[in-house]
């Protein structure tokens, strides 16, 4: 069976490799929008499903397609991928010295069905000095990351503690994906 990761994220690719399965990557061609949703969990599941379905419809044979989406939420506000260095700085200033939540939704689409789920992890940022915010934002690193940071790069120094799954913050709750694959008999 063909396994396809519907993602352009190098972080998700590295995380999926943890499962030790043969797979291929096909980036989805969908726009990430936050138009309508009832909950943040529903939103990330919906976006992940949109990505997985789009790649499923472009591919053939017996296949399993996995899509994912991650958002950062601060006091009810979604902090997506910043579009400018200034916006990245503003996101980091907001998150400094406070809690925020990271939601990652996963969707799996195969010939016989679809399944979605999400994980939520709380993250506490230490107080960030302006010099660090500026250096990190001006590096360009945060421009392709929800909430303007990556826990796997220099952004790791921002994080004082987390409550929940570390890999959810990176963009793919590997344990939950493995659990589902085991249940379906796909993990070998």
pLDDT tens per residue across span 122-141:
999 999 999 999 999 999 99
Structural domain range at position 90? 2-184
Cα–Cα dist 101/78, whole Å: 10
The whole-chain average pLDDT of the chain stands at: 95
Average pLDDT over residues 44-69: 96
Catalytic residue among 33, 35, 69, 98: 69
- Asked whether the predicted pLDDT for residue 32 surpasses 90, the reply is no
Q: Could you tell me the pLDDT band of residue 13, with boundaries at 50, 70 and 90?
A: very high
pLDDT score for 136:
97
Report the percentage of the chain scoring pLDDT > 90: 93
Q: Which of 8-17, 30-39, 53-62 has the lowest mean pLDDT?
A: 30-39
Active-site residue flag, 69? yes
Alpha-carbon torsion (131, 136, 142, 146), positive or negative:
negative
Distance from C-alpha of 102 to C-alpha of 78, rounded to nearest angstrom: 10
Average pLDDT in the 35-54 region? 93
Dihedral over alpha carbons 82, 86, 87, 91 (to 10 degrees): 110
Is this model's pTM higher than 0.85 or not?
yes
Model confidence at 188, pLDDT cuts 50, 70, 90, reads confident
What's the structural domain count of the chain?
1
| CATH number assigned to the domain comprising residue 30 | 3.90.950.10
């Amino acid at each position: 069976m063909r396994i396809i990761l519907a993602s352009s994220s190098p972080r998700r690719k590295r995380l999926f490799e943890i499962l030790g399965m043969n797979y291929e990557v096909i980036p989805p061609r969908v726009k990430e929008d936050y138009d309508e949703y009832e909950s943040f969990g529903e939103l990330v599941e919906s976006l992940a499903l949109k990505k997985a379905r789009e790649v499923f419809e472009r591919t053939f044979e017996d296949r399993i397609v996995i899509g994912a989406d991650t958002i950062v939420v601060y006091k009810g506000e979604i902090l997506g991928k910043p579009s400018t260095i200034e916006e990245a700085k503003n996101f980091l200033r907001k998150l400094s010295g406070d809690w925020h939540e990271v939601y990652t939704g996963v969707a799996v689409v195969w010939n016989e069905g679809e399944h979605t789920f999400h994980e939520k992890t709380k993250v506490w940022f230490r107080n960030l000095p302006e010099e660090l915010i500026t250096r990190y934002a001006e590096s360009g690193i945060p421009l392709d990351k929800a909430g303007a940071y990556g826990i796997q790069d220099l952004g790791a120094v921002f994080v004082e503690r987390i409550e929940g799954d570390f890999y959810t913050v990176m963009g793919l709750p590997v344990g939950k994906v493995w659990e589902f694959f085991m249940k379906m008999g796909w993990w070998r």
